[in-house]
Amino acid sequence: MTPNIAPSNICEFLHKDNLVIFLFHGVIKKQIHSVRNYTMKHIEGELFDEYMGKLAHQGSPISMNMVLDHLDKKKPFSPGSFAITFDDGFENNISVAAPILEKYNIPAMIYLTTDFIQNNRMSWIDRIEYAVQKTKKSKITLQVNDNTYPLNHVDEKINFLRVVRELVKKTPTCNPNLFAHQVCSDLGFPSNISSDDPLDLKLSWDQIQKIHKDNGLLSFGGHSHTHPILSFLSSDDLSYELDRSISLMKHMADIDSTHYSYPEGLAHCYSDEVIRELKQRGVRCCPTAIQGNNSLDMDPFKLFRIMVA
Protein backbone atom coordinates (compact mmCIF):
# COMPACT_ATOMS: atom_id res chain seq x y z
CA MET A 1 0.00 0.00 0.00
CA THR A 2 1.22 3.49 -0.81
CA PRO A 3 1.32 5.84 2.19
CA ASN A 4 -0.63 9.11 1.99
CA ILE A 5 2.64 10.93 2.72
CA ALA A 6 5.97 9.43 1.63
CA PRO A 7 8.42 9.14 4.59
CA SER A 8 10.96 11.17 2.60
CA ASN A 9 8.42 14.04 2.45
CA ILE A 10 7.29 14.14 6.09
CA CYS A 11 9.86 16.75 7.12
CA GLU A 12 8.70 19.13 4.39
CA PHE A 13 5.81 20.02 6.69
CA LEU A 14 8.19 21.33 9.38
CA HIS A 15 8.48 25.11 9.57
CA LYS A 16 11.15 27.42 10.96
CA ASP A 17 8.73 29.52 13.07
CA ASN A 18 5.44 27.65 13.12
CA LEU A 19 4.31 24.53 14.92
CA VAL A 20 3.12 21.44 13.03
CA ILE A 21 0.67 19.06 14.72
CA PHE A 22 0.47 15.65 13.07
CA LEU A 23 -2.77 13.66 13.28
CA PHE A 24 -2.76 9.86 13.32
CA HIS A 25 -5.41 7.28 14.17
CA GLY A 26 -3.71 3.91 14.38
CA VAL A 27 -0.44 2.06 13.94
CA ILE A 28 -0.63 -1.67 13.24
CA LYS A 29 2.05 -4.35 12.89
CA LYS A 30 0.99 -5.48 9.44
CA GLN A 31 -1.88 -4.78 7.05
CA ILE A 32 -3.67 -8.12 6.59
CA HIS A 33 -7.08 -7.15 5.20
CA SER A 34 -7.82 -6.67 1.52
CA VAL A 35 -10.70 -4.22 1.92
CA ARG A 36 -10.56 -2.80 5.42
CA ASN A 37 -8.11 0.03 6.08
CA TYR A 38 -7.79 0.82 2.36
CA THR A 39 -7.57 4.51 3.41
CA MET A 40 -4.55 3.71 5.64
CA LYS A 41 -6.22 5.14 8.71
CA HIS A 42 -3.91 2.68 10.48
CA ILE A 43 -0.36 2.69 9.12
CA GLU A 44 2.18 -0.08 9.57
CA GLY A 45 4.69 0.23 12.42
CA GLU A 46 7.60 0.21 10.00
CA LEU A 47 6.27 3.33 8.27
CA PHE A 48 5.49 5.04 11.58
CA ASP A 49 9.07 4.30 12.66
CA GLU A 50 10.38 5.92 9.47
CA TYR A 51 8.23 9.03 10.02
CA MET A 52 9.28 9.38 13.66
CA GLY A 53 12.96 8.75 12.89
CA LYS A 54 13.00 11.46 10.25
CA LEU A 55 11.04 13.94 12.37
CA ALA A 56 13.18 13.34 15.46
CA HIS A 57 16.30 13.90 13.37
CA GLN A 58 15.20 17.13 11.68
CA GLY A 59 12.55 18.55 13.97
CA SER A 60 11.91 19.41 17.58
CA PRO A 61 9.17 17.34 19.29
CA ILE A 62 6.95 18.96 21.93
CA SER A 63 3.96 17.79 23.94
CA MET A 64 0.51 19.39 23.60
CA ASN A 65 0.97 20.76 27.14
CA MET A 66 4.09 22.55 25.93
CA VAL A 67 2.18 23.76 22.86
CA LEU A 68 -0.37 25.37 25.15
CA ASP A 69 2.39 26.93 27.25
CA HIS A 70 4.00 28.46 24.13
CA LEU A 71 0.64 29.86 22.97
CA ASP A 72 -0.22 31.20 26.45
CA LYS A 73 3.09 32.99 26.90
CA LYS A 74 3.70 33.84 23.23
CA LYS A 75 7.00 32.02 23.63
CA PRO A 76 8.47 31.37 20.15
CA PHE A 77 8.54 27.74 18.98
CA SER A 78 11.93 26.18 18.32
CA PRO A 79 12.59 25.73 14.59
CA GLY A 80 10.88 22.58 13.29
CA SER A 81 8.59 22.19 16.31
CA PHE A 82 6.08 19.39 15.95
CA ALA A 83 3.53 17.56 18.09
CA ILE A 84 2.10 14.07 17.58
CA THR A 85 -1.59 13.39 18.20
CA PHE A 86 -3.86 10.35 17.87
CA ASP A 87 -7.66 10.54 17.66
CA ASP A 88 -10.23 8.00 18.93
CA GLY A 89 -8.24 5.83 21.42
CA PHE A 90 -7.08 2.70 19.58
CA GLU A 91 -5.22 0.09 21.63
CA ASN A 92 -2.53 -0.07 18.94
CA ASN A 93 -1.47 3.46 19.97
CA ILE A 94 0.01 1.83 23.07
CA SER A 95 1.01 -1.63 21.85
CA VAL A 96 2.55 -0.62 18.51
CA ALA A 97 3.10 3.17 18.38
CA ALA A 98 4.27 3.84 21.96
CA PRO A 99 7.50 1.76 21.80
CA ILE A 100 8.46 3.65 18.61
CA LEU A 101 7.72 7.00 20.28
CA GLU A 102 9.88 5.86 23.24
CA LYS A 103 12.70 4.93 20.89
CA TYR A 104 12.86 8.53 19.62
CA ASN A 105 11.71 10.18 22.86
CA ILE A 106 8.71 11.83 21.18
CA PRO A 107 5.69 12.81 23.32
CA ALA A 108 2.17 12.22 22.01
CA MET A 109 -1.42 13.12 22.87
CA ILE A 110 -4.19 10.54 22.59
CA TYR A 111 -7.73 11.97 22.30
CA LEU A 112 -10.23 9.44 23.69
CA THR A 113 -13.79 8.79 22.57
CA THR A 114 -15.07 7.56 25.92
CA ASP A 115 -17.93 5.33 24.73
CA PHE A 116 -15.45 3.53 22.43
CA ILE A 117 -13.29 2.92 25.53
CA GLN A 118 -16.18 1.89 27.81
CA ASN A 119 -17.65 -0.66 25.39
CA ASN A 120 -14.89 -1.36 22.87
CA ARG A 121 -17.25 0.30 20.42
CA MET A 122 -16.47 0.90 16.74
CA SER A 123 -17.08 4.12 14.81
CA TRP A 124 -19.86 4.15 12.19
CA ILE A 125 -17.41 3.85 9.29
CA ASP A 126 -15.39 1.08 10.97
CA ARG A 127 -18.63 -0.91 11.42
CA ILE A 128 -19.50 -0.43 7.76
CA GLU A 129 -15.96 -1.41 6.64
CA TYR A 130 -16.12 -4.50 8.85
CA ALA A 131 -19.49 -5.58 7.40
CA VAL A 132 -18.47 -4.85 3.79
CA GLN A 133 -15.23 -6.85 4.20
CA LYS A 134 -17.01 -9.86 5.70
CA THR A 135 -20.37 -9.93 3.93
CA LYS A 136 -21.37 -12.79 1.64
CA LYS A 137 -24.00 -10.60 -0.04
CA SER A 138 -23.24 -9.77 -3.67
CA LYS A 139 -24.86 -6.32 -3.71
CA ILE A 140 -26.48 -3.62 -1.63
CA THR A 141 -29.11 -0.99 -2.37
CA LEU A 142 -28.83 2.28 -0.47
CA GLN A 143 -32.10 3.78 0.68
CA VAL A 144 -30.75 7.34 0.51
CA ASN A 145 -30.20 7.34 -3.28
CA ASP A 146 -31.87 4.09 -4.36
CA ASN A 147 -28.67 2.99 -6.13
CA THR A 148 -27.49 -0.61 -6.12
CA TYR A 149 -23.79 -1.36 -5.68
CA PRO A 150 -22.14 -4.72 -6.48
CA LEU A 151 -19.98 -6.26 -3.73
CA ASN A 152 -18.43 -9.28 -5.45
CA HIS A 153 -14.78 -8.30 -5.48
CA VAL A 154 -12.34 -6.25 -3.42
CA ASP A 155 -12.50 -3.39 -5.96
CA GLU A 156 -16.28 -3.26 -5.86
CA LYS A 157 -16.28 -3.28 -2.06
CA ILE A 158 -13.74 -0.46 -1.88
CA ASN A 159 -15.73 1.51 -4.46
CA PHE A 160 -18.86 1.15 -2.31
CA LEU A 161 -16.94 2.36 0.77
CA ARG A 162 -15.74 5.41 -1.16
CA VAL A 163 -19.35 6.17 -2.14
CA VAL A 164 -20.45 5.82 1.50
CA ARG A 165 -17.75 8.19 2.77
CA GLU A 166 -18.55 10.78 0.11
CA LEU A 167 -22.29 10.52 0.66
CA VAL A 168 -22.18 10.93 4.42
CA LYS A 169 -19.65 13.76 4.18
CA LYS A 170 -21.73 15.84 1.80
CA THR A 171 -25.08 15.18 3.50
CA PRO A 172 -25.09 16.98 6.87
CA THR A 173 -28.65 15.76 7.50
CA CYS A 174 -27.49 12.14 7.33
CA ASN A 175 -27.00 10.64 10.79
CA PRO A 176 -23.92 8.40 10.32
CA ASN A 177 -24.91 6.06 13.15
CA LEU A 178 -28.38 5.39 11.72
CA PHE A 179 -26.87 5.04 8.26
CA ALA A 180 -24.34 2.47 9.54
CA HIS A 181 -27.11 0.60 11.33
CA GLN A 182 -29.04 0.27 8.06
CA VAL A 183 -26.02 -0.77 5.96
CA CYS A 184 -24.81 -3.32 8.52
CA SER A 185 -28.24 -4.89 8.89
CA ASP A 186 -28.66 -5.03 5.06
CA LEU A 187 -25.32 -6.86 4.93
CA GLY A 188 -26.39 -9.28 7.67
CA PHE A 189 -24.58 -7.83 10.70
CA PRO A 190 -25.83 -6.43 14.00
CA SER A 191 -25.35 -2.68 14.42
CA ASN A 192 -23.38 -3.08 17.65
CA ILE A 193 -20.46 -5.02 16.13
CA SER A 194 -17.48 -5.12 18.48
CA SER A 195 -14.19 -6.70 17.49
CA ASP A 196 -10.71 -7.25 18.87
CA ASP A 197 -9.03 -6.92 15.48
CA PRO A 198 -6.04 -4.51 15.72
CA LEU A 199 -8.10 -2.15 13.54
CA ASP A 200 -10.90 -2.13 16.11
CA LEU A 201 -9.65 -2.80 19.62
CA LYS A 202 -9.78 0.27 21.86
CA LEU A 203 -7.69 1.11 24.91
CA SER A 204 -9.07 -0.05 28.26
CA TRP A 205 -9.47 2.25 31.26
CA ASP A 206 -6.84 0.10 33.06
CA GLN A 207 -4.28 0.84 30.37
CA ILE A 208 -5.19 4.52 30.29
CA GLN A 209 -5.06 4.85 34.07
CA LYS A 210 -1.64 3.21 34.28
CA ILE A 211 -0.11 5.30 31.49
CA HIS A 212 -1.58 8.51 32.86
CA LYS A 213 -0.12 7.72 36.31
CA ASP A 214 3.31 6.96 34.80
CA ASN A 215 3.34 10.56 33.53
CA GLY A 216 5.66 9.64 30.67
CA LEU A 217 5.55 10.57 27.01
CA LEU A 218 1.84 9.91 26.50
CA SER A 219 -1.00 12.19 27.58
CA PHE A 220 -4.75 11.99 27.16
CA GLY A 221 -7.51 14.35 26.14
CA GLY A 222 -11.19 14.10 25.20
CA HIS A 223 -12.79 13.44 21.81
CA SER A 224 -16.51 13.36 22.79
CA HIS A 225 -18.43 10.38 24.18
CA THR A 226 -19.93 8.78 21.04
CA HIS A 227 -18.10 10.67 18.25
CA PRO A 228 -20.96 12.74 16.77
CA ILE A 229 -20.28 15.95 14.86
CA LEU A 230 -20.57 18.36 17.79
CA SER A 231 -21.84 21.35 15.81
CA PHE A 232 -24.87 19.34 14.58
CA LEU A 233 -26.10 18.56 18.12
CA SER A 234 -28.88 20.25 20.08
CA SER A 235 -27.57 22.08 23.12
CA ASP A 236 -28.80 19.27 25.41
CA ASP A 237 -27.05 16.61 23.34
CA LEU A 238 -23.89 18.71 23.15
CA SER A 239 -23.88 19.08 26.95
CA TYR A 240 -24.36 15.34 27.31
CA GLU A 241 -21.47 14.48 24.94
CA LEU A 242 -19.07 16.86 26.68
CA ASP A 243 -20.15 16.16 30.27
CA ARG A 244 -20.16 12.39 29.85
CA SER A 245 -16.71 12.25 28.22
CA ILE A 246 -15.17 14.70 30.68
CA SER A 247 -16.59 13.03 33.78
CA LEU A 248 -15.61 9.52 32.60
CA MET A 249 -12.02 10.62 31.97
CA LYS A 250 -11.91 12.18 35.42
CA HIS A 251 -13.54 9.29 37.29
CA MET A 252 -11.99 6.37 35.43
CA ALA A 253 -8.44 7.67 35.10
CA ASP A 254 -8.16 11.03 36.90
CA ILE A 255 -7.55 12.88 33.63
CA ASP A 256 -8.32 16.60 33.51
CA SER A 257 -10.04 17.86 30.41
CA THR A 258 -7.48 20.50 29.42
CA HIS A 259 -7.10 18.90 26.00
CA TYR A 260 -9.81 17.89 23.55
CA SER A 261 -10.21 17.39 19.80
CA TYR A 262 -13.34 17.72 17.64
CA PRO A 263 -14.75 14.52 16.07
CA GLU A 264 -14.13 14.72 12.28
CA GLY A 265 -12.53 18.14 12.91
CA LEU A 266 -13.53 19.89 9.67
CA ALA A 267 -14.65 23.52 9.58
CA HIS A 268 -18.35 22.61 9.81
CA CYS A 269 -17.76 20.21 12.74
CA TYR A 270 -17.29 22.88 15.43
CA SER A 271 -18.83 26.27 16.12
CA ASP A 272 -18.64 29.22 18.52
CA GLU A 273 -21.20 27.45 20.70
CA VAL A 274 -19.12 24.25 20.80
CA ILE A 275 -16.00 26.24 21.73
CA ARG A 276 -17.89 28.18 24.42
CA GLU A 277 -19.23 24.95 25.96
CA LEU A 278 -15.77 23.36 25.91
CA LYS A 279 -14.22 26.41 27.61
CA GLN A 280 -16.93 26.35 30.28
CA ARG A 281 -15.86 22.80 31.12
CA GLY A 282 -12.18 23.63 31.51
CA VAL A 283 -10.93 22.66 28.05
CA ARG A 284 -8.09 24.95 26.98
CA CYS A 285 -6.85 23.51 23.72
CA CYS A 286 -8.72 21.77 20.89
CA PRO A 287 -7.10 21.22 17.49
CA THR A 288 -9.11 20.75 14.29
CA ALA A 289 -8.37 18.36 11.42
CA ILE A 290 -7.96 21.26 8.98
CA GLN A 291 -4.63 21.18 7.20
CA GLY A 292 -1.98 23.75 8.05
CA ASN A 293 0.73 24.82 10.48
CA ASN A 294 0.36 27.11 13.47
CA SER A 295 1.85 30.49 14.26
CA LEU A 296 2.12 31.79 17.84
CA ASP A 297 -0.99 33.94 17.51
CA MET A 298 -3.29 30.99 16.73
CA ASP A 299 -6.44 30.45 18.76
CA PRO A 300 -5.85 27.18 20.74
CA PHE A 301 -9.40 26.12 19.67
CA LYS A 302 -8.65 26.49 15.96
CA LEU A 303 -5.24 24.87 15.62
CA PHE A 304 -4.49 23.16 12.32
CA ARG A 305 -3.18 19.62 11.97
CA ILE A 306 -1.58 17.57 9.22
CA MET A 307 -3.56 14.36 8.79
CA VAL A 308 -1.07 11.56 8.17
CA ALA A 309 -3.34 8.61 8.85
Report in angstroms how near the CB of residue 263 gets to Zn ion at its nearest. 5
Q: Compute the distance between CA of residue 37 and CA of residue 25 in angstroms, rounded to an integer.
A: 11
Which amino acid is located at 269 in the chain? Answer: C
Q: Compute the distance between CA of residue 214 and CA of residue 121 in angstroms, rounded to an integer.
A: 26
Report in angstroms how near the CB of residue 87 gets to Zn ion at its nearest. 4
Q: Compute the distance between CA of residue 304 and CA of residue 291 in angstroms, rounded to an integer.
A: 5
Q: Compute the distance between CA of residue 23 and CA of residue 288 in angstroms, rounded to an integer.
A: 10
Exposed/middle/buried for residue 13 (C-beta within 10 Å: 0-12, 13-18, 19+): buried
Q: Which is nearer to Zn ion, 50 or 264 (CB)?
A: 264
Give the residue nearest to Zn ion (CB): 87
For residue 76, give Cα distances in angstroms to 18, 73, 82: 9, 9, 13
First vs last C-alpha separation in the chain: 13
Residue 52's SS3 state is: helix
Q: Which is nearer to Zn ion, 187 or 203 (CB)?
A: 203
Q: Which is nearer to Zn ion, 157 or 223 (CB)?
A: 223
Q: Which is nearer to Zn ion, 81 or 261 (CB)?
A: 261
Q: Which is nearer to Zn ion, 59 or 222 (CB)?
A: 222
Report in angstroms how near the CB of residue 195 gets to Zn ion at its nearest. 18
Report in angstroms how near the CB of residue 224 gets to Zn ion at its nearest. 8
Report in angstroms how near the CB of residue 109 gets to Zn ion at its nearest. 13
Q: Give residues in contact with Zn ion (CB under 5 A).
A: 87-88, 263
Per-residue DSSP letter, 79: T
Q: Which is nearer to Zn ion, 122 or 140 (CB)?
A: 122
Report in angstroms how near the CB of residue 227 gets to Zn ion at its nearest. 6
For residue 60, give Cα distances in angstroms to 11, 36, 73: 11, 34, 19
